[in-house]
Structures are given as C-alpha cells and as structure tokens.
Structure 1
Amino acid sequence: MEKIPARVSTGFEGLDKVIDGLRIGDNVVWQVDSISDYRSFVKPFVQRALTENRKVVYLRFAQHEPLLEENRRITLYHLDAQSGFESFSSEVYNIATREGEGVFYVFDSLSDLLSAWATDLMIGNFFRITCPYLYQLDTVAYFALLRDNHSYRTVARIRETTQLLLDVYNVEDRIYVHPLKVMGRHLPTMFLPHLMSGNRFTPVSSSVDTGQLVRYFSGKGLENAKRNLDYWDRLFLHVRDLLQEEMDDEEKRDILDHLCEIMIGREERIQELARKYLTLEDLCNIKARLIGTGYIGGKAAGMVIARNILLQDPSFDWQRYLEPHDSFFIGSDVFYTYIVENGWWKQRMEQKTGEGYFEIARILREQMLNGRFPDEIEEQFWRVIEYFGQSPLIVRSSSLLEDAFGNAFAGKYESLFCVNQGSPEERYRQFREAVRRIFASTMNEDALAYRLQRGLEKHDEQMAILVQRVSGSYRKEFFFPDLAGVGISYNTFVWKKEMDPRAGMVRLVMGLGTRAVNRVENDYPRVFPLDAPSLRPHSGGSDIRRYSQHDVDVLNINSNEFETIPANTVLSGDMGIQSEMVGIRDHESEQLLKERGRGGEERWILTFDKLLSETPFPAIMQKMMKTLEEKYDYPVDIEFTTNFTGDGAFMVNLVQCRPLQTKGRGEGARVDIPSKLSLEQILFQTEGNFMGSSIAQQVKRLIYVDSEEYSRLSLSEKYDIARLIGRLNRISKREDCPTVLLGPGRWGTTTPSLGVPVRFAEINNFLAIVEIAYTTGSLMPELSFGTHFFQDLVETDIFYVALFPEQEEFLFNVGVIKEGENLLPALLPESARYEKTVIVRDVEKEKFSLYADIVSRKVLCYRSVIR
C-alpha cells in the first residue's frame, strides 16, 4: 500500500485549508512582486517548523535583504552564485546530501541568480536538478521568483517540476494568494485567488475584488510580450537600444565589462584582452550567431580576440592577408542543459567524486553519445545548417578551461569535420552527431587525467562549441585548403645553434591541418624556424624524400567523408595547385619509373622551398605571431590555413590563438656535460633532436621496449604493451622515482607498427621519453614540434629526445639496460610473459643521470657507478 506523505503546516491555518496543507517532499515556489511579500510567508513557515523541532536550513546567496534573522536553531549556508552554475548547483547538492532526510529548506529568491548567470535557462536547469533531489530526501523547500523577471518557458519548466506553485499579489496593500499548481490534492475552491486577512484566506468571489484584480493583471500584462524571451535576449535587446543612443565612456565600459563576464569566460587575463580589443558591436554580433546562451569558450574567444588585435593594428594592412570568418557559436549553457534534459545530473555529481571520477565518466560518455536536445536548441541547430548550406564545416570544442593561460587542453577534446553533403536532414543529423561527440569527449580518459594532474578536477568545465566554415577550395571531388599549419611565437625548443628562439617556428602541411596538429603516420610535415626557414629539424637532412609529407588529408565531397590521399596525386593531378610553389620534381623516382616502363608519370616531393624562400610567407607569419605575442604579453600558439589567390598571393585564415604553455628552465641556461666517460658508462648520447630546456637530473628507473621483440608481437599484443606501460607509469611517479622511458619509433602513435600506441595519460608521470629510430622497418621518430603531443610534453614538463643512428654524435648502448635484473615480473606479475619485450631496471645504486644543454644542443644519459 502506497505511503501517504505526512501533512506539514505553512504556518497559516487558513492557507493550510486552501491547499489541504503541505506534504513531506513538497517544493513550494512563490511568485511574488517583492521580497518582502515572500518574507511574510517564509517567517511563519520557519516558526512553525522550529516549534515542531524540525531542522531548518537557510541557503543565502542573493543580494536582497536576508529572509531570516540570525538564529542558532537555523543552519545558515552562504553560497557564491558567481562561482558558476555547476559549482553552485554542486554545493547545494552536497549540502542536501550531508544534511540528509526530513530537513526544511528556505532559499533566497532564484531571480537573484540572473545577476550571476545572466540567463533564465540555467535557473530552470538548477531547479530541475535540485527539486527532485530534495523531494527524494523527504524535505520541504521554499523558493521564490520575482514576477515578470523570467520567460514563460522558464516558469513553465519550474511549474512542471515543482509540487506547488503559488502566485502572491500585493494590490493596494491587500495580499492575494492564487494557487496555480498543487500536486496530489484538490478542493472545490483551491485554484481561485484568495484574499489574505490575518490568518484567514477567503476565495475571491465579489465583483469588487475581482475587478481590482483584473485591472491589476491587465496593467501588468502590457509588458508581458517580452516574457517570451529569455533574460539573456532581453539584455541584448537593451544593449542594442543603448547603442542607438549617446552613451558616455564609463557607461559603455560598464556594459562591455558585464558582457565579457557572461560571454567570454572567467579567466581575468582573457577577459582583460576581450575588454581591450572587443567592442559592444562585436559582442552583439557574436550574440547574433550564438546558439543557446552562456560562454563561447576558450578556443572561440582566442580566435575572435586575435583577429581583432590584428585588424586593429595600424602598422600593417592585415585586411590584405587575413581571410574573414563567419563562425557560429554554441553557448556553454547548452552543455549543461543537455545533461539536465536527459536526467544525467546525479551521475555528473557522482563522477565528481574520487571513486566515480573515471568509472562513472565511462558510463556518462556512452550516454552522452545518444542523448536528446531540447526542441528550442534543435530549432537553432537548423539555423547553422541553413546558413552554411552544403559548405563543409568543422565543429570544434571550445570549453571554459581550454586555451587559457596555463592550460591548453591541446587535443584533449574532439573537433570534427562535417563534410556536410546530402539532404538537409542528413546534414542536420551529421552536425548533431558531431555536437554530441564533442560533449561526450569531456568524459574522455585523457581529458580527465589531464584535469586531475593539473588540479582542475573540481573546476567547472562547461563545453561550448565553435562552428567554422572549412577554409579551402573544391578540387575535383575533394575540398581542402592549399596549406595549413601551427605556429609558435617563442621556440625554446630550438634544434640548431644558429636559431633564435624569439623568432618562432611553424609546422606546415598541404591540405587540412590535421597533419599539422597530430603526429602523423609515416609522415614528416615541414617544420621551420622563422629566422632561418631553410633549416630542417630532422636528422638525415640529405634524404629530403624520406623526411617529407607523403599524404594529404582532404574532404571527399562524393563519399561525404574525411579521406587521406597521396600528396603526389594532388601535385601531379589537375587540381589547381601551384605545385612549383610547394614542391620539387623527384627526377630520381621518375627515372626509376621510366626504367620500369612507366615513363611519363610525374613524381613530386613536398618541400615548400619556393614558398619559404621566394614569398613573404615566413615574414607574414612571424609578423602575425609577434603582434599577437606583444598584445597578449605572452608567447602564443596559433593554428591557421592558407590559400593562394593567384600570382603567388595568399590569404591566411587564423582559426585559433592561445597562450603558449612553456615550462622552460630559462633560455641560455647552461649545463656542463660530463666528458671523458667510458663506453660502459654511457646509455645514450646525441646532439640536437630534443625538446625541453637544459636539464641535469638524477634517474632512478629505466623502462625499455625492445624493438626486435616488439616487432614480433601480434597487433593485440602491441596494444597490451601500451597498457602495460600505462600501469608502469602509474607506479613511477616523477617525484619519488624519476623514470626514463625508451622505445622504438613513435610514442603515442595510433599505428602500432610505427611505435607503441600509448595514450598520453599512460606516459604523463615519466621524467623523459626517448624515441629510437631503426633504419629497417617503419620505426622512425617524428620530431613533433607544434603538435598536440608536443604541447602535452611542454605542459607536463617531460623531456623528449629522438635518437637517429645515422647521426654523427649518436650512441645508444642497449647492453647497459639489459645487463641488470628485469623487475617487470616483480612489479607486474600478470605481465611477466612480456619480460623479453619490456625491461624495467631500477638504477639508483648506479647513479644514473640525464644531462642536456640547450646551448651546445648535447644530450647525455650515463651512470657514475659501473656494475
């Protein structure tokens, strides 16, 4: 038999009769004209609760006068709404969890949250997650809304969720209470307005009282047309109106500051740049292209601010070289609304705990790939589809913490191309799927490990999204830009003595920029310092063919898919590419083909030599980054595309700009590299080909993956090795056990034949990683300057070195590792079968050290004590 909830008093016997009393579990929302009217119903409720020895909790967060006086019998919590929706909601959730069942709650006016969150949507979301939880805990809670401060949609969402919704009208000092919703009970006159007189509540039946109410309601209703709009929209309508009027500078500045606070983000240094380089008109234009409400996120903010910095630069005609953008933005509030709408908030709270941090995240990620969006959001998604038509799009993560000073989150979240072909419905489904996948990527293990390692696991991490038109041209059945790349304005990771780190560096590819930001398989994008563009970072500089880009990433319009095609197909085909500008003819390969009876076939090598030596491209890129660096007062990291416009002219599309995370130990810091060592002492030595500043560090553990044994493994066994390295990583903390990891080819590749396919979260505790080249097979390092992998190494302060056997200074003495006891079976007994492939040696007694000197470019790892 269903349990009937116990009755509770409002503190007014007359009102109890009108609504048949309160019930345990009720959430009561009062719509009032003033806080004093709300207070007049709160006090009797609390007094009666205290008389009945109920526990009363008052949640104080508003700017209005307190609802209750200090009382030792009332538990008071002060909350900070400015901390953001998630932090605020989480704190309320945690308070309710701690206080337990049967508690009576009084909340300040929810309308006051508008000053902090600037949107009705999030107030509705807060109520939809808080109300059911309090109901579950058998509480009784009072809330208030100021009448006409919220959209009809928000009030409707609250009405759907709450158990009681009561209108309170103050008409010429006469108080009327009109129950609009009373769940679970019904009386004949319950839903009529009631006139309050002392403790009596009388249904309105006389024509005099009815006439007064009608006049009052009709007078209030004149402004109600605006209530179809969210507070957010009304705010921007007000700003548009103000822009038509004369405003003094202080008023403009105040409004600009407020809009930057609610749109750009919470980090003060980014806000400061926004206030300096964005105008009210700019922010209104962003609003016009914003889906939902909230922040546009770090990636979008960086792109918009950087473009404005350049266009406002009087020293250079950036209009001539800068491609315009027409991006859309999905506001960060859509992310939380997606979670609330699908009923995942409780799991979100569980995921925030230590026990559920990774485990619940895996469940949430799968759910987020299949959730539904509110109808009004889906309608706005159609705006994007209809605006761009069939132009290819890239849907990019732009979270709150992303691309900030101190945290880049490079490659941690998804960014997805939508080729955007087919019927409108097909294109819509493809776009919606991309949004879901980006939202779900907030629960990726690498992203979670990154946040945990950097102490950000408790921070709000809302996901906004940047939607950009893909820069490029149609070429036969393909679409892609001529060039794309990554640039850094300050390159502490120089690889030649001749280079000036202040000059910066670019990593350049043909086609889509995916091959610039990722470590690509069996490929070598062109990496060049901007003060000496002809310099190449790899060893074996004479073998230009081997160390070049062999494949190009494109969008296939016919198949509606991302595709990789040979670079030679692009350069030798009729695709409108200025082949001589970016490549050189490979006469040696053409002669070989001719000898094999395939004469007439063109062969090209992508070098970009002519572009770098005969055009202003390097100078323009350096000017761009130096201008941004100066205004940021910090080194920057950019992503861009470039398209030729004819006669060698080109335009650059700046798609991203963020502060460059660096953890250098100081440019020019010297380390004296020990000399006169015996071969038995040296594990490895080389010159150049390392990333990181000078280092002199003791090493306590070596982990080595043997190339021959690794090559013999099956595909699944190679993935086993990656997971094994991850387990060793967890027990090799840098502070207690500084560890050097050595292995064949590329760490973190997605192709096991090229190296060990570890995730970055599986190597993030190591002091240093070493990639060893082997002339046979495909196990070759790729110096990843400028990639997401590079950024991870920089932020985590992991030293990196690549060893190329053909280099003059190269020495790698594998016997030094193999001569000792392999601790793998003892540390990880379940992985003992791989002891021939993975060797783990603790070397503290041999006094191993790792040295590198940024000036001489020498690297040495050696032992002082020989076994």
Structure 2
Amino acid sequence: MATHASVSTGWKSLDLIIDHLRRGDNVVWQVDAIDDYQRLVTSFVNNALVDNERVVYLRFARHLPLVEGRIDRITIHKLDVEQGFESFSSQVHTIITNEGRDAFYVFDSLSDLLHVWATDLMIGDFFSITCPYLYELNTIAYFAILRDRHSFKAIARIREITQVLIDVYNYRGRICIHPIKVLHRYSPTMFFPHIKRKDSLQPVINSVDASAIFTHLSRHKTRVAHRHLDYWDHLFIRARNLNESNAPEEEKRDMVEQLSRVLMTRNKKILALIREHMTLDDFLQIKVRLIGTGFIGGKSVGMLLARKILAEDQSRRWQDILEHHDSFYIGSDVFYSYIVQNGWWKLFMAHKTREGYFDRAAELKERLLEGRFPEGITEQFQLMLEYFGQSPIIVRSSSLLEDAFGSAFAGKYDSCFCVNQGPPEQRYEAFEQAVRQIFASTMNEDALAYRRQRGLDRMDEQMALLVQRVSGAYRKYYYFPEMAGVGLSHNPFVWKKGMDPKAGMIRLVHGLGTRAVDRVENDYPRIIALDDPLVKPLSGMKDIRRFSQHFVDVLNLQENRIESEPFENMLDRGVTATVELLTVRDTEAMDALRDLGLPAKDQRVLTFDPFLTTTPFIEVMRSLLGRLKEVYRHPVDVEFTINFNKAGDFQINLLQCRPFQTIGLGDGSPLPASLPEASLLLRMEGRFMGGSILQPIDLVIFVDPERYTRLTLSEKYGVARLIGKLNRSIVNKETAPTLLLGPGRWGTHTPAMGVPVHFAEINHISALAEISYRDGSLIPDLSFGTHFFHDLIETGIFYLAIYPEQADVLFNRRWFLDQPNLLSTLSPTDSPLAEVVHVLDVRDAGLVIHSDVASQQVVCYLSGAATASANEPQPDPASSP
C-alpha cells in the first residue's frame, strides 16, 4: 500500500499549486512539444538525485533522450518496441518488478508508440496495466503525451486511470500549466490555468485574462476538433486520400508498406509478397470490414494474398472459377484489450514466465471463457451479424504467427461454426461465445507446447479472427458444401513408382471440410495424386468400400448445430443432389444383398471418380497450386470448398493458403543392395512419409497391439499418459533419436482405435509407426493433409503405416518383445504396464530406418553387434503381430 509521502516536482511554484506529488502518483503531462516535457523531467530528476532517490529512465522513443548527461547516476533501460505490445509491456513489467518499491520513473513520450502500434487502444491498454502496478509499488512515474495526437476517448481513459494529469501549453510566448486532475488534493485555484512569470506560476483568475486565455484555447481546440478520431482512423483517411489522388506510385507503395506493418504481418517473407502483389485499394477494402484495430492475422493474410495472386494470373479466368468472399476481420488488438479490460493482465504475465507457462495457462483459459467485451466492439459485432442475417458463419482463428513460413499452427487453435439460427439475441450470444472459445484456445496445451518447441513462447501471439460466411447451400434442413478439401503443391505420400511428388495431392470429402483437416474416427477421405488422380492407395472394391468416407459433416438448421450424418441416410433422404458425380455404384454389395434375399437397393461409395474425370477440376487445381507455389517460391497448402453454380459449373472457394513445410526432399543414399534376413525388423513398400532418410535409432518405445486391445479404457488412457512422460524425458531428439511404434491411430480420441495421446506427448519422437491389428479397429489413418500430418511435417517426424497382415510386408514383432524392457527401471510406478509398453535401448544394436522415395521402399534393420544374436527363426513375413 502506498504511503503517500510528499515529493517535490523540482519546481517549488508547481509544488504549491498541486500540493506536491505523492508516492504512488503517475503523472501525465500533455504537451505541445517534447522540449516542454524535457524541462519538467529535468527539474524532477535533479531534485530526486539531490534527495538520493533511485531514478529509472525507460528509453524507447525516437525523440532525443530526456536525461542525457547524467546517465552515471540513473538506471537506463533501452526497450524494443518493434516486437509489439505484449513484448514491450512484458519488458516494462519485468523492469518494474526487478527495480522494486519506491523508485522514481521517467518514461519517453507514449505518443511515439503510435508509429508501431498505430492505435490509441493499445496505448490505453499499456497505461491501464502499467500505472496500477507502479502505484502498488509506491513509485512516482512521469509520462508524456503529445497534444492533438490522440482521440478524446484515449485521453479520457488516461485521465480516469492516472493520479495526476496536467496540460502544458504556450500562451503568447509564455508557458502555461493547467492541472486537469490531481487526485486527493484540492485548493481554490488548483484547477485554473497558471502562467509562468519569472520562476513562479500564477493562476489566471481575473475575468479579463481568463476569457482571453480560454478563448485562445477554444480556438486551438476548434482547429483540432478531429481529435475524436483515433490515430488509426487518420492513417486510413490519409491512405484513402492518397489512393484517390494523382500522387506518384512510389508514394502509394510507401503507404502500402506502412499499412502492411500495422495491419498484416511482421513476417519478412510474407511482407515481401504483400509489397509485390497488394495495392492501396486492397487495404482500404480490408479496413471497411475490420472490427477493432491491429493485425488481421496469418490466416486472413494468406487467404487474401492467395486470392490476389490468382486474380493477377492471366492464364485462367479465375474470376469465374473462384467463389467470392465477404469475410470480416477482428483485429488482434481486441484480444489484448479483452484481457486487459477484464483485469487478467497480471495472470497473463504470470503465464508468460517459465514456471507459470503451463500452470497459469489453465486458469487463464477458464477466465477467457467468461469475459466481457468493450462496448464499442460489441456494437461492431452486432452490425456484422446484422449483415450476415441468418446465414451460417464460421469464426476462425487467425493469430499473428499462424500460417507463416515455419509455423503453420495447424489445428492448434479452435474454429467455431455458428449455425446462426434463432432469435437475434441467441445468435449474438452464440457468436460471442465462439470468440471467447477461440481466445481461450490460445492456452491449449498443444498450442503452448508448439510455441515453446519452436522458440516462439516469448513472442507476441495475439489472436485475430477471420469471420466467414459458410460456403455451401441449403438442402432441406441441412447446410453444407458439395465438397471440401486440402490441397498440397507437394505430395509427400507417393504410393506408386513413377508418381511425381511435385505434382501435388488433394484430400477430398463430401460436406464440410472438418473431415478433410481433422483425423476422424473410422472414416477415410479420398486421397488424390494430381498426376494420376484415379489411382488409389488401395486395391479391390472391398478395400475401396472400407477405406472411403461413410459420414458427412453438415450444419443442421433445425437443431442449430453441426452434425455427422451417415452418407447412406443422406442418400435415402435425397439430400445429396450430385450422387452420380460423387459416387460409384457398389455392385458387389448389391449382389451380396440379393444373395441374402434382401432388397438390393442402390449402394454407393464416395470415390469422386466421376467428378475427377468429367470436369476440369484436376487441371484447375494443378494450375492453382502451381501458380501459388511459383509466387511463394515455396510449396503451399490450401483449404477450399466446391459448389456448383446455376449453370452447373463448379466454383472453388479458396479459404486458406499457407507455406507448406516439407522434409526429406533430397534423394538420400541408396538402400543396401541386400540385407541378411536376420537383421531385418521391417520391410515394406510405400505408406511412409518423410522422404528419403537414413535415420539411426537409439531408443524404441513399442506399444504391443495384441496386449493393448486387452486393456480397460482407463488403462488405455494410462498408456497415453505414460507415452507423454517418456516423450518428455527425451531432452534432445537429435542426440537421442527415438522410434515410437503402436497400434492404430496415434492421437485418436477413441482409445479403441489407437493410443489417445496429445501431439505434445509425442513431439520429441524422431520416427512414428502406426501398426494395423486385425482383431479390432486398430487401423492406421493415412491422414495426409490433416492437422496431425502438419504436426509431423513441421516437427520433422518420419511416419510409417505398417500392415503386417499383407503379404509384401515383413514386420518382426517378436524381436521387439524379446529385448530387455527398461520401463520398470525408468519409471517403477508404471511397472504394471510393462507387458504392454516396451522401452528398448538399441544403441549397441545399430538400429537404422532407411527409406527411398524413388523406389518407395523402406527398411528397418540392425547394423550393429546385436545382429548376430538375432540369428533365430524369423516370422513368416505375412504373419500378423
């Protein structure tokens, strides 16, 4: 608690007017020029040094230093404002914490922060989190703001928070001091303007002088009546005027550069693409649909940039192929203001510490689901929802770091469908809750681990949002697109010799795209190689039927929610209008029904073959991915939907575009010409992802499929947590490369289909294998293009799908079971699971994984001393585990 002891400003006359400063005071000087502020700082600092007070100067502005010449007696901290609000505020918070109680602070002009933040909102947020902390530590702090640079609303917010606010201006060549707010002090003349005469300040109290000076001030204020606008608004007014003028193109490009750095991104590679392709008019169109201020985030930037690149491409009439969009953008500043204005900034700073990074995040996540939005933002939310009416919308994460080169954040943050049915109040509340949920998803454990693993945990990661009309059509009481998918300009999963990885691939589904981007339970989207679209990584109608899409994600307008409907039911109800284009007839299933004496109703399998062969879709997607890859100078990954217009032509809605991370693109070393059967642990063709590698393995974690199926539900979850514990013990995957093998799908939500780990529980693994086990539903998911797939790619994890029951696959399960199991030694409390989870130290065995993309071969073999001891009868290559 502050002690409120009197302190001098260094100017006795001013001390008398405001009854001195009090410890705990934050003092804001509103000045015409920095020189005026510097004179006030000089008096304050000189007096503090005489009284042996600790003086701390926070230097961050572009103006000249305020305390130059006395740096030997003053602690100076030079701060970096370029990294954004969170980084800057965190630096200040840390300094104040370390300096402790009773220090005297001088801050550079807060107005200078506008050149980076471009908005009063963030300056107000910074002031509202910093000043109470300074007050709590019994300090005195000087701040300055330049007159006419800020909106009335911003000044009002500063006035409300600070203890002392004083106007400083010049009147007929003399300095005038006008206290506006002085907390807990009062005198009959305190709040009059005071004119400096010699060294004293004299109140202007007679009517002649008072009317003259206030007339002067009112004229000045009339000239600057535009102050009700934010700096942000002025920036775009200048941009609009410039765009409508005959100014040189170079001047307009300079404005594009300025706007890019406050609206789009800080990523240098993306900025270069924006400079090359986007115009001033593009930015003005974004501003019309922007709620709040700040960055629109990586997902929004990627979508807009990709659309602009294609619009410039003269090789096709993209305006006829691409569906138009009318998206809205919720600026990143709204996220921080939501935290600040709900009083959670201290908790947020506690989360940013090393010890609180995960622990405090859980508490913050709960808070983020309960907050209130500022009134000005809720009004804009309401206007946006009135625009969309009752059309279904989707609220998508679009954080600062998302969808950039090197950090896709695929699936780390939430996206929420708002079916948007019902009365306006209900629709509005559902939308607000969707925003809260996505804000809260910044504290998801997987997202936090992802940021830390990539060294991004100390960087600003504000959450902007992209609000889009759901692409699709009404079908009875359902709403969904005909098709949706993910497209990759580089195909990391070539399953046939001669297939060209550079041609790209598509993962395609019927209905909403959730089944294209997420690993779904017991369902299989269509994988399409763009150089050979009809070739499937399966053979025979039985496999095609089994490994096809059986459920369709739709929006149920009656129930006001997203649902997964069996495709067969949708056929029976006549909901799917393009049956002949999306499916092939399953004559085998129809014959089987006849043999059983049952009605042989029409049986269909979603293969999309007719659509792929009778439309130019494949050619269009090759062009789309090829053009974007060419401009990005990097492989790309897109999300899209497909609908049909009245003429029956398909149209693509391009929802997202981001740089696609690839691994193992080199040819690698050739596979050994021959290997002793005794040394082989695995040999198969295809069904791997990660390119050509030669990876030594030091540690193996093997979850035995047969014994896993016998576990109870809680024991299966126990296996998942144990895998996470073992994963965390791998300090460095480079020095301790680890192979993880287990049944079915890693990361499934259904333990009966695999081990239900979070990705953060396997992110230190070097190679990951999913093993098919025919007794049960433990089938790998070749989920190329999903969020899980992106995690594997970005983390550099080599992936294998092993089908031991197939004749061309050799898998020596017995060898893994016969090696000494270290689990009980490493984690005695987990000994009961030692029959299921085997941890093997294979450094002396020389275990190696070797793959070759050209031949589509992969082998895992022993190259060390243990090879000799492996000379025992080997299992039949076709045997199951």
Classify the TM-score, shorter chain: over 0.9
Instruction: Tell me whether 1:851 sits opposite 2:860 in the alignment.
Output: no
Q: CA deviation at 1:799?
A: 0.5
Residue matched to 1:326? 326
- Report the equivalent of 1:88: 88
Measured in 2, the distance between the counterparts of 1:373 and 1:241 equals 32
Kindly report which structure 2 residues correspond to 1:392-791, keeping only aligned pairs within 5 A, or say none: 392-538=392-538, 543-575=543-575, 577-594=577-594, 598-599=598-599, 601-645=601-645, 648-666=648-666, 668-673=667-672, 675-678=674-677, 680-732=678-730, 733-791=732-790
Structure 1 residue 132 and structure 2 residue 150: aligned? no
Amino acid at match of 1:463: M
- Of 740-749 and 542-551, more deviation after overlay is shown by 542-551
Q: Are residue 807 (structure 1) and residue 806 (structure 2) matched?
A: yes
Pair 597,172 (structure 1): closer, same or farther in 2 beyond 3 Å: farther
| Cα deviation digits, residues 805-824 of structure 1 (max 9, x gap) | 34332011111011122211
Deviations 1:753-775 (A, max 9, x none): 11111111111111111111122
Contact 1:540 1:807 in 2 (8 A): no
Q: Is the 8 A contact 1:673 1:860 kept in 2?
A: no
Structure 2 residue identity aligned to 1:307 = R
Which range moved further: 219-228 or 592-601?
A: 592-601
Tell me the secondary structure at the aligned position of residue 841 of structure 1. Answer: strand
Deviations along 1:519-544, one digit per CA (max 9) or x if unpaired, are 11111110011010012234777621
Q: Aligned pair 1:311/2:323, yes or no?
A: no
Maintained 8 Å contact 1:299/1:397: yes
Look up the equivalent residue of 2:790 and give its one-letter code.
Answer: Q
CA 366–508 in structure 1, closer or farther in 2 if over 3 Å, else same: same
Is the CA contact 1:486–1:508 (under 8 Å) kept in the aligned structure 2?
yes
Distance 1:728 1:346 in 2: 33
What CA distance in whole angstroms lies between the structure 2 residues aligned with 1:241 and 1:841?
69
Task: Single out whichever of 216-225 and 278-287 deviates more from structure 2.
Answer: 216-225
Q: 1:625 to 1:28 in 2, by over 3 A?
A: same
> 1:346 maps to which residue?
346
Alpha-carbon separation, structure 2, partners of 1:104 and 1:687 = 71
Aligned counterparts of 1:646 and 1:621: Cα–Cα separation in 2: 21
Gap runs ≥5 in structure 1: none
Q: Secondary structure of the residue that 1:548 maps to in structure 2? A: coil
| Match status 1:364 vs 2:364 | yes
Q: Distance in 2 between matches of 1:223 and 1:379?
A: 30
1:589 Cα deviation after fit: 2.6
SS of 1:432's partner is helix
State the Cα deviation string for residues 281-311 of structure 1 (Å, max 9, x = none): 1101101100100000110000001001111
- CA displacement at 1:178 relative to structure 2: 1.5
Partner of 2:877: none
Does the 8 Å contact 1:615/1:648 carry over to 2? no
Match of 2:39 in 1: 40
Q: Deviations over 1:155-188 (max 9, x none)?
A: 1111111110111121111222111111122222
**CA contact under 8 A between 1:645 and 1:651: conserved in structure 2?**
yes
What is the CA-CA distance between 1:77 and the residue it aligns to?
2.0
Query: Residue 237 of structure 1: CA displacement?
Result: 1.8
C-alpha deviation, 1:595, in angstroms: 5.4
**Which residue of 1 is the match for residue 820 of structure 2?**
821
Distance 1:538 1:225 in 2: 71
Give the % identical residues: 56
Which region of structure 1 is more displaced relative to structure 2, 855-864 or 420-429?
A: 855-864
**Distance in 2 (alpha carbons) for counterparts of 1:630 and 1:309:** 10
Q: Aligned partners of 2:165 and 2:541: how far apart in 1? A: 76
Of the structure 1 ranges 837-846 and 500-509, higher mean CA displacement relative to structure 2 is found in: 837-846
Query: Would the alpha carbon gap of residues 516 and 103 (structure 1) be closer, same or farther in structure 2, given more than 3 Å must change?
Result: same
What residue number does 2:274 align with?
274
Quote the Cα distance in structure 2 between the aligned partners of 1:835 and 1:373: 51
* d(CA) in 2 for partners of 1:347, 1:292: 24
Query: After superposition, what is the alpha-carbon deviation per residue over 1:689-738, rounded to whole angstroms, capped at 9, x for unaligned?
Result: 00011111221211111222222222222111111110011113422321
Q: What per-residue deviation string (whole Å, max 9, x for no partner) do you get for residues 591-624 of structure 1?
A: 4445556526332100111111221111101100
Q: Give 1:646 shift.
A: 5.3
Task: Give the secondary-structure state (helix, strand or coil) at the position aligned to 1:846.
Answer: coil
**Letter in structure 2 aligned against 1:750:** H
TM-score for the superposition, normalised by structure 2: 0.96
SS at match of 2:545: coil
**SS where residue 41 of structure 1 aligns?**
helix
Structure 1 residues 421, 673: closer, same or farther in 2, change over 3 A?
farther
Match of 2:872 in 1: none
Q: Assess if the C-alpha contact under 8 Å between 2:745 and 2:754 holds in 1.
A: yes
Is 633-642 or 177-186 further displaced after alignment?
177-186
Maintained 8 Å contact 2:2/2:138: no
3-state DSSP of counterpart to 1:81: coil
Structure-2 separation of matches of 1:19 and 1:596: 98
Bigger mean CA deviation after superposition, 472-481 or 99-108:
99-108
Which stretch shows the higher mean deviation, 55-64 or 331-340? Answer: 55-64
Residue 222 of structure 1 aligns to a residue whose secondary structure is helix
Q: Which residue of 2 aligns with 1:355?
A: 355
Describe the shift of the 1:808–1:614 C-alpha distance in structure 2 as closer, same or farther (beyond 3 A).
farther
| Aligned residue in 1 for 2:64 | 65
Cα drift, residue 224 of structure 1: 4.3
Distance (Å, rounded) in 2 between the aligned partners of 1:673 and 1:414: 45
Q: State the Cα deviation string for residues 742-789 of structure 1 (Å, max 9, x = none).
A: 111110111111111111111111111111112232110111111111
Cα gap change, 1:686/1:55 in structure 2, threshold over 3 Å: closer, same or farther? same
Structure 2 residue 211 is the aligned partner of structure 1 residue 211? yes
Report if the CA contact (8 A) 2:477-2:557 is conserved. Answer: yes
Q: Per the alignment, in what secondary structure is the counterpart of residue 274 of structure 1?
A: helix
The count of corresponding residues between Structure 1 and Structure 2 is 864
- How far apart are 1:499 and its partner, in Å? 0.8
Q: Write the letter of the residue equivalent to 1:338.
A: Y
Secondary structure of residue in 1 paired with 2:543: coil
Give the SS at the match of 1:447. helix
Please give the alpha-carbon distance, in whole angstroms, between the structure 1 residues aligned to 2:223 and 2:574: 63
| Secondary structure in structure 1 of the residue aligned to 2:694 | strand
Separation (CA, whole Å) in 2 of partners of 1:200 and 1:184: 24
Distance 1:596 1:293 in 2: 66
TM-score of the aligned structures, taking structure 1 as reference length: 0.97
Q: Do the aligned partners of 1:30 and 1:167 also contact (CA within 8 Å) in 2?
A: yes
RMSD between superposed Cα atoms in Å: 1.6
Paired residue secondary structure (2:27): strand
Distance 2:22 2:307 in 1: 58
Secondary structure (helix, strand or coil) at the match of 1:320 reads: helix
- Code of the aligned partner of 2:75: T
Q: Which amino acid aligns with 1:721?
A: V
